[in-house]
Structure 1
Amino acid sequence: MENKHNLKWVVVPFHSLSVEALYQILRLRSKVFVVEQKCNFLDADNKDQQCMHVLGYAGSELVAYSRIVPAGLSYPYPSIGRIVVSANGRGKGWGAALLQTSIAELEKRYGLTTIRIGAQAHLHEFYGLFGFEQTSGIYLEDAIEHIEMTRQPALPHAGA
Structure 2
Amino acid sequence: MGWTIKSFHELTSEQLYKIIKERINVFVVEQDCPYPELDDKDFVAYHLFNEEDGEIIAYARIFSSGLYYDEASFGRVIVKETFRKRGMGRELLKRAISFIHDELKENDIKIQAQDYLRDFYASFQFKSITDVYLEDNIPHVDMIYKR
Interval of TM-score (by shorter of Structure 1 and Structure 2): over 0.9
The one-letter code sitting in structure 2 at the alignment partner of 1:30 is: I
1:54 matched residue in structure 2: 48
Whether 1:74 and 2:68 are equivalent positions in the alignment is yes
Determine helix, strand or coil for the equivalent of 1:46. coil
What is the CA–CA distance in structure 2 between the aligned matches of 1:60 and 1:102, rounded to whole Å? 21
The one-letter code sitting in structure 1 at the alignment partner of 2:139 is: E
Whether 1:123 and 2:117 are equivalent positions in the alignment is yes
Give every structure 1 segment of 4 or more consecutive aligned residues whose post-TM-superposition deviation is greater than 2 Å. Answer: none
1:100 matched residue in structure 2: 94
How far is the alpha carbon of 1:112 from its aligned partner? 4.5
The one-letter code sitting in structure 1 at the alignment partner of 2:15 is: A
Give the aligned length. Answer: 147
Where do residues 1-160 of structure 1 align in structure 2 (5 Å cutoff)? 8-153=2-147
**Deviation by residue 1:96-148 (Cα, 9 ceiling, x = unmatched):** 01011111111122224110000000101000111101011111011000000
Unaligned runs of 5+ in 1: 1-6, 154-160
* RMSD (Å), alpha carbons: 1.1
Q: Percent identity?
A: 37
What is the CA–CA distance in structure 1 between the aligned matches of 2:90 and 2:54, rounded to whole Å? 20
Determine helix, strand or coil for the equivalent of 1:110. coil
**Deviation by residue 1:38-72 (Cα, 9 ceiling, x = unmatched):** 01111111111001110112232210000111212
Determine helix, strand or coil for the equivalent of 2:15. helix
What is the CA–CA distance in structure 1 between the aligned matches of 2:129 and 2:40, rounded to whole Å? 26
What is the CA–CA distance in structure 1 between the aligned matches of 2:106 and 2:7, rounded to whole Å? 20
The one-letter code sitting in structure 2 at the alignment partner of 1:122 is: Y
Unaligned runs of 5+ in 2: none
The one-letter code sitting in structure 2 at the alignment partner of 1:133 is: K
Q: Which has the larger radius of gyration?
A: 1
Contact 2:65 2:106 in 1 (8 A): no
What is the CA–CA distance in structure 1 between the aligned matches of 2:127 and 2:53, rounded to whole Å? 34
1:3 matched residue in structure 2: none
Contact 2:72 2:106 in 1 (8 A): no
The one-letter code sitting in structure 1 at the alignment partner of 2:86 is: K
Contact 2:48 2:62 in 1 (8 A): yes
Question: Against the structure 1 CA distance between its residues 94 and 61, is the aligned structure 2 distance closer, same or farther, given a 3 Å change threshold?
Answer: same
What is the CA–CA distance in structure 2 between the aligned matches of 1:111 and 1:70, rounded to whole Å? 9
